[in-house]
Amino acid sequence: MSEQTPAEARAGFAALAAVAGPPEQAAAAEDRRIPGPAGDIPVRIYRPESDRPLPVVVYFHGGGFVIGDIATHDTICQRLAVGVPAVVVSVDYRLAPEHPFPSAVEDCDAATDWVVAHAAELGGDAAYLAVAGDSAGGNLAAVVARRARDAGGPPIAFQLLVYPVTDMTRSYPSHLESGTGYLLDTETMTWFIESYLGGADPGQSDASPLLADDLSGLPPALVVTAEFDPLRDEGEAYAERLRQAGVPVTASRYDGMIHAFYGMDSIFDAAKRATSETVTALRDGLG
């Protein structure tokens, strides 16, 4: 992937994501554009049938900040929407290298604020709000949660972080142990980070949430990791830092799995278990 253009990489990732297949059940979905800091942000809103306001999940897709979109993560969001059940808003934030850091952070902040302001209109209850994401999206969910804490809102009740990027300095052993041969390799991760940061300091907390000075007062979290994933150690280190800061957190490693297994329920039994675990965690965290 690191030898491709961004357009080629995005097309390849879309083909990989299609392997996940359609969801077992589907909620009504609507594509909209909402105001953002640099123009409209595309979102996809999933609304399960319900006679009461539902909790709300704002989902940020993975893809190294360079690839992925609301279409590649449609099945994941459908499963969460139906399973919890919840109104799920999937955010098509701006991608690097065309829009480097902190463009994605700004879009995700703005989208979360918009969802809170319009939750009732969407059939949701903003008092029961979660942020969620996988890989780069897990990074963005963690950053949005911390920035919301620092800003005094919006009130986020739970964060779901699936193999999140938490340390852009790549200083943990799993980057070497699983850096070759397990789909997400060292060269691709380097390309993602360099494309996203565009020369910005990788140690700042809006890029590397693990390196934030203070993680106290953050929402309860589920952190999912995979055994053969370069991001395994930094995800588990983030969970441990949350725990040390007094944040209720569950760290769940899926042995034998690689990066991007989440959502591939048609291929991996472990992916089915991860879907069930994340649905249950969101349901309990937003109950």
- Residue 202 CA to residue 207 CA, distance in Å, equals 6
- Annotated active-site residue in 206, 229, 233, 265: 229
Q: How far apart are CA 241 and CA 225, in angstroms?
A: 15
Name which of 259, 218, 224, 265 is nearest 241 in CA terms: 218
3-state SS class at 274: helix
Q: How far apart are CA 193 and CA 191, in angstroms?
A: 6
229 in catalytic set: yes
The tally of CA atoms less than 13 A away on the side-chain side of residue 169 is 10
**259 given a catalytic annotation:** yes
How far apart are alpha carbons 145 and 69 in whole angstroms?
21
| Catalytic residue, candidates 61, 73, 175, 259 | 259
Which residues partner with 131 through β-bridges?
58, 159
Cβ-based neighbour number of residue 211 at 10 Å:
17
Give phi and psi for 207, each to the nearest 5. Answer: -100, -40
Told to judge if 171 belongs to the known catalytic residues of this protein, a careful annotator would answer no
Q: Which residue has the tokens 């992925």?
A: 68
Candidates 6, 72, 84; CA nearest to 47 is: 84
Q: Given 135, 174, 178, 195, which residue is catalytic?
A: 135
Nearest Cα neighbor of 1 from 137, 10, 60 is 10
Q: How far apart are CA 133 and CA 59, in angstroms?
A: 5
Active site residues: 135, 229, 259
